[in-house]
Structure 1
Amino acid sequence: MSHSHDHQHDHDHHHDAPPAPGTVDWRLNGVRVIKGDQLDTNTAQTPGMNRAAAINKARVGAQKIWAGTVHIHANAKTGAHHHGALESVIYVVRGKARMRWGEKLEFVAEAEAGDFIFVPPYVPHQEINASTEETLECVLVRSDNEAVVVNLDIEPVEKPEEVLWVDPIHKAP
């Protein structure tokens, strides 16, 4: 089965060919370093986890990806959600993750530091910190430049727990 690309696309193709020499100010439009203490927490959230954006359209002009971190506190379970048409990759930096997915979150797999997790578009899922003692720390990359989170009303197999966001700015009650 062949697929024709003769139709007009709704997205920008300016990255498909390199720019002509001397037409781009690479100092202003080149590599960007986002320091770990400068991540943006003003991004879509799901109960039980804290997401922070490093790379997105607003911060660096990213056209095709979103990247950031997610921290899930010890023994915490997030609410069920999906990320629309986006593909997601989760890299486990520290801790042990348990992923549940499916219409009733009936499927389960675990990942630990050094493992990658792939979440296809529209898959209902729940992230669980399988450790009762340490925070689960992950790097997250998605296939578009903005965060899409659709929180779902699914009765989870493992009930979400309210996890208070406590850090130097947000004090414990």
Structure 2
Amino acid sequence: MDRLRFDLSPTRILAAEITADTGQSAGAIRVAGVHRGVGASAIWLGKVSNEPAYRSVPHHHAEAETAGYVFKGRARIYFGEGYRDYYDLEEGDFVHVPPWMPHIECNRSADAELVWMTARTPDNLVVNLDDVDLPPSEYTT
């Protein structure tokens, strides 16, 4: 009982207060809701979207551990040597991306937006890597 803190309160972040002033990768748009700028010390929570038939450039999140939830749309995440491995994800699916793992996030739809809810610890670290040839015809259906 001695760990309870009644002198604290949660931080409310309104939709009008979310910011795109966070790490980005071409082809993906990240907006931050919970982050260090609002008082979080060890978690980042935000929304990531890819326009129809778009993909992120290859990237990793340094020491950040990442959890993603496909809120809307159909995704593909490439990983592994030469980005030859991939998982397809549908609305309601989750994915865990380990620290330092290079990957590419794709929107498999040619006409609908892809929206992820993403959490990272300790923060939204984004390290963009050299791009690879991966045309939309490889991942859109």
Contact 1:77/1:159 (8 A) holds in 2: no
Q: Does the residue aligned with 2:81 lie in a helix, a strand or coil?
A: coil
Task: State the AA in 1 paired with 2:23.
Answer: A
Q: Which residue of 1 aligns with 2:46?
A: 68
C-alpha deviation, 1:32, in angstroms: 2.0
1:149 is matched with which residue: 120, 126, 129?
126
Q: What is the deviation of 1:38?
A: 2.2
Alpha-carbon separation, structure 1, partners of 2:116 and 2:13: 16
Corresponding residue number in structure 2 for 1:93: 71
Q: Tell me which residue corresponds to 2:139.
A: none
8 A Cα contact 1:92 1:112, kept in partner? yes
Contact persistence 1:81–1:124 (CA under 8 A): yes
Query: Normalized per residue, which structure has more strand?
Result: 2
Structure with the larger RCO, 1 or 2 (CA within 8 Å, 6+ apart)? 2
Offset of residue 33 of structure 1: 2.4
**CA–CA distance in 2 between the matches of 1:57 and 1:77?**
27
Aligned to 1:170: none
Structure 2-normalised TM-score? 0.88
Matched with 1:41 is 20
Note the residue ranges of structure 1 that are not aligned, 5 or more in a row. 1-16, 161-173
Aligned residue for 1:18?
3
Alignment partner of 1:106 is 2:84: yes
Q: How many residues align?
A: 135
- TM-score normalised to the size of structure 1? 0.73
- 1:159 deviates by 4.0
In structure 2, stretches of 5+ residues that fail to align are: 137-141
CA–CA distance in structure 1, aligned partners of residues 20 and 81 of structure 2: 29
The one-letter amino acid paired with 2:132 is E
- Corresponding residue of 2:61: 83
How far 1:153 moved relative to its partner? 1.3
Share of identical aligned residues, percent? 32
Superposition deviation, residue 37 in structure 1: 3.3
CA distance in 1, matches of 2:41, 2:112: 35
Q: Which residue of 2 aligns with 1:32?
A: 11
Q: Distance in 2 between matches of 1:87 and 1:105?
A: 19
Which 4+ stretches in 1 moved above 2 angstroms? 35-38
- AA paired with 2:89? A
Match of 2:32, SS? strand
- Which residue, 70, 88, 94 being the options, matches 1:116? 94
